[in-house]
Homo-oligomer: A and B are copies of this chain.
């Protein structure tokens, strides 16, 4: 899949530009720059042209011309991805297709619990539209103020709502897709049940724009919770947290809207660096869990469930100590401990990060084995594993040893990652739980997938993008 696509010449660029009109065909360096910079500043791409179509027909016409001329197209929506999936390579031959102007919410169907949104709709705007109809669109991401639906679907985004509401894939009923050929597949179904042939929808979700360009989607809406209750508990080890999770699921089912595991070092780091943060539990504990229960009835009802989980956790000797938030302010203070984690690590120096998931029952083993493994690679390094225990999705981050040179530490990234990923693979896990493959993990893909699975993926790529014009150099 590495065959280079030719650079579009001036004549071809003019033909592309004519599709969207001069105002929406960007060629000026300053205008193009924002489309080339990605959040972690890791991939430095180049492009002769950014196209900003305003209609699905324009998207289709762009792809038709690209397919005819063998021009590489890089779809981009909110440009918040962290694996380089949305930025062109450095060749200067790839045209960026910005979906941001396709930002209409075509319909909110409250009676049907659906919303039809175009690829360029900002996630927060989708939230607001659902809220106005007294519904919730439960995809919840840190970047929700700028990420867009097209990217959310193309990366099958995860986030904090997965435990209760599923991944993005589970929140989509139908999609509209512009194919490599320039044909538009209208799969905008609102159906809960439909068994008429192959599942084309899920083919495009999570494919990072390499099989087609999602232009719109029918999203599921759910009822809004009327109350929440949050608790923070201290525990001996991750195994105790896993035991508490089983109790919480039994009591709350899908009303368990968060179950986040944190090591002692996490609490300490937040308390040290975040103004106003404090440890609400007496005495240090090796591990902590923040969990949240939502209720469609009331806050009191959610509190009752949290108390039941607490009670059983104590009587089963899983919980050493804990505290339930008794006000919105307290709840916010608990959440601050968790939400600040990604940010505060930098104060302790370099951090080597892994976006991994394992079967939830294997989380304690992952933490134990990976802890030993990384210590061997960089003695004195400080494992900082935290995250969504209920999804098996642990942000296995490793902070540098105290006093070590940051650059020297980060130079060991690949060695540390190799050690962690080997254990993750051994446990039947994944090296990209949330962020996708993009450019960053493309090499890794061949190490963790069987040749047969890679070959199956290639068959799909060939079937849907025979000329390889869609986001080449990504995923496969």
Contact = CB atoms under 8 A, between A and B. Distances in A.
Interface of A: 109-114, 134, 155-156, 158, 162-163, 166-167, 169-170, 179, 183, 185-187, 189-200, 202-203, 205-207, 211, 222-223, 242, 246, 249-255, 296-297, 305, 308, 357-362, 388, 390-393, 428-437, 441, 445, 448-450, 452-453, 456-457, 459-460, 462-464, 475-476
Given A357-B191, A361-B112, A428-B189, A196 B155 contact: no
Contact of A198 (B109, B190, B206): B206
Listed from nearest, the 8 A-B pairs whose CB atoms lie closest are A190-B359, A111-B361, A112-B361, A202-B202, A193-B433, A194-B430, A192-B391, A459-B463
A242 to B, nearest CB: 6
A350 B460 CA distance: 46
Of the listed residues A113, A189, A197, A252, the one surrounded by the most CB atoms of chain B closer than 10 A to its CB is A197
Contact of A158 (B162, B193, B253, B452): B193
B251 A196 contact: no
How many copies of this chain are found per oligomer?
A: 2
Contacts of A162: 192-193
B211 A111 contact: no
A158 B355 CA distance: 34
A207 B200 CA distance: 11
Contacts of A437: 195-197
27 contacts: A109-B359, A111-B361, A112-B359, A112-B360, A112-B361, A113-B249, A179-B456, A185-B452, A191-B428, A191-B433, A193-B357, A195-B436, A196-B437, A196-B445, A196-B448, A197-B206, A197-B437, A197-B475, A198-B206, A198-B211, A198-B456, A200-B453, A200-B456, A203-B203, A251-B296, A251-B297, A456-B464
A192 B360 contact: yes
B191 A359 contact: yes
A168 B446 CA distance: 30
A468 to B, nearest CB: 15
A185 B194 CA distance: 26
A185 B450 CA distance: 9
A150 to B, nearest CB: 16
Of the listed residues A113, A431, A449, the one surrounded by the most CB atoms of chain B closer than 10 A to its CB is A113
Given A109-B361, A197-B475, 20 more contacts: A111-B361, A112-B360, A113-B249, A158-B193, A162-B192, A163-B192, A170-B170, A179-B456, A185-B450, A189-B428, A191-B429, A192-B357, A193-B430, A196-B436, A196-B437, A196-B449, A200-B453, A223-B253, A253-B254, A462-B463
A462 B49 CA distance: 36
